[in-house]
Copies of this chain bind each other. A is one copy, B any other.
Amino acid sequence: MLMCRLLSPNLTRDAPYSYVSHGCTGKGNDQVRFELAFYGLKPDIKVVAPWRIPGLSSHSSPIMVVYSRRSAEFYNRFPGRQALIAYAGEKKIPVTQTTAKPWSTDENLFHISYEAGILEDPNTTPPPDMWKLTTAPENAPNDPESITIEFQRGLPVRVTVPSEGKEYTDGVEIFLALNALGRKHGIGRIDIVENRFIGVKSRGCYESPGATILRAAHIDLEGLTLDRNVRALRDQFTTVEFSRILYNGHFFAPEREFITASIPASQRTVNGKVRLKLYRGNVIVVGRESAEVNVFLRTEALSDNHSCRVFTMSINLLWMNSVDLSLLTPPVSFKSSPSGLRSTSGFINSDC
């Protein structure tokens, strides 16, 4: 997705070049994502993928017939990862992969991934020094750290870190700050077996420290501020289908436009603050607030009285599902909203 955004200004239909190249093999998801992005931006672009060109035969697709016979030389010269690492060493080209760390990584602002090599056996525990972006929970500070994240329309707009005496409001700075906090507190490691686009299972390890913190806060705030039915639909359909689309690299496909069109409507009320405690791998929500939620009724008499208003609720249960309980509770003020039903005012004192 990030790549798609980065490519957009450069790879256009009118771009004055005809070829792009990438170093993917034919096994992974990235080849698919790269090429679908290329084609999406410039449908007549031609892709050169040297490592997918076999040495002796000519199983080339029509797109690949642009390759001359010479291109087989790449495959013959570098049949695999070790040959490339050796070449890099010989030519003093700096690469992070070494024979000592026999796995493949991809790192960006959002995360790092590790796969292949010794990780292919799903029963092999990753060595401690594999993880690059986070400290191990065991080595994280013994003191929890409290932070606050504020969202507007579902987007993080302010991260307050009292221990640093700082606030972050710029998008990239927020991400960098949360990455640093996640790293410090051992947050965001996962180790899973996934199903790649091309049909094989693959074991991958990932670190995404800042994103893990953001996601925990965002989900929590949605619990407070998002309409129940919107959330259910979003979770079951939008989230699932959007994830599938992105995983498979269909960013420039019509269904991506279709799916994303409804997201802003789901985030209009996701405004508020979430207070978090970070501690040795844990992101613990300790409180959340939002001006979207109506004033609570706190009269002690009501709060201790189970039946009076409550029973009248049962009578109107059907309507309440749509109309909002606040209809029945005069002191509750409504937020203005294009839709008067249930939008963000469904919160009442549940012990009245």
Q: Give the interface of A toward B (CB within 8 A).
A: 13, 25-28, 32, 35-36, 39-44, 51-55, 57-63, 75, 79-83, 104, 115-117, 120-125, 137-138, 144, 189, 191-196, 198-202, 220, 223-224, 227-237, 240-241, 244, 248-250, 252-259, 261-262, 264-266, 269, 275, 279-282, 284-289, 293, 296, 303-308, 310-328, 334, 337-343, 346-352
Tell me how far the C-beta of A234 lies from the nearest C-beta in chain B, rounded to whole angstroms: 7
Known: A230-B258, A314-B318. 9 other contacts (CB 8 A): A40-B340, A59-B311, A104-B351, A189-B284, A192-B220, A198-B320, A227-B254, A230-B254, A280-B281
Would A319 and B36 count as touching, CB distance under 8 A? yes
Tell me how far the C-beta of A75 lies from the nearest C-beta in chain B, rounded to whole angstroms: 5
Would A282 and B194 count as touching, CB distance under 8 A? no
Give the distance in Å from the alpha carbon of A196 to the alpha carbon of B346 in the complex: 10
Residues of B within 8 A of A250 (CB): 229, 322, 341
Tell me how far the C-beta of A343 lies from the nearest C-beta in chain B, rounded to whole angstroms: 5
User: From A244, which residue of chain B is reached at the shortest CB distance?
Assistant: B232
Would B341 and A39 count as touching, CB distance under 8 A? yes
Tell me how far the C-beta of A194 lies from the nearest C-beta in chain B, rounded to whole angstroms: 7
Residues of B within 8 A of A308 (CB): 54-55, 79
What are 30 A-B pairs at a CB distance below 8 A? A25-B306, A32-B319, A36-B319, A39-B319, A40-B341, A52-B310, A54-B312, A59-B61, A59-B315, A61-B312, A61-B314, A81-B304, A120-B296, A122-B293, A123-B275, A125-B286, A195-B228, A199-B228, A199-B324, A200-B325, A201-B347, A202-B350, A227-B254, A229-B250, A229-B255, A233-B241, A254-B339, A254-B343, A258-B262, A280-B280
Question: Which residue among A230, A261, A318 has the maximum number of chain B CB atoms within 10 Å of its CB?
Answer: A318
Tell me how far the C-beta of A135 lies from the nearest C-beta in chain B, rounded to whole angstroms: 13
Give the distance in Å from the alpha carbon of A60 to the alpha carbon of B261 in the complex: 42
From the candidates B191, B279, B340, name the one contacting A137 in the complex (CB within 8 A).
B279
From the candidates B53, B193, B236, name the one contacting A224 in the complex (CB within 8 A).
B193
From the candidates B116, B122, B124, B316, name the one contacting A63 in the complex (CB within 8 A).
B316
User: From A302, which residue of chain B is reached at the shortest CB distance?
Assistant: B80
Residues of B within 8 A of A286 (CB): 125, 191
Would B340 and A123 count as touching, CB distance under 8 A? no
Would A287 and B123 count as touching, CB distance under 8 A? yes
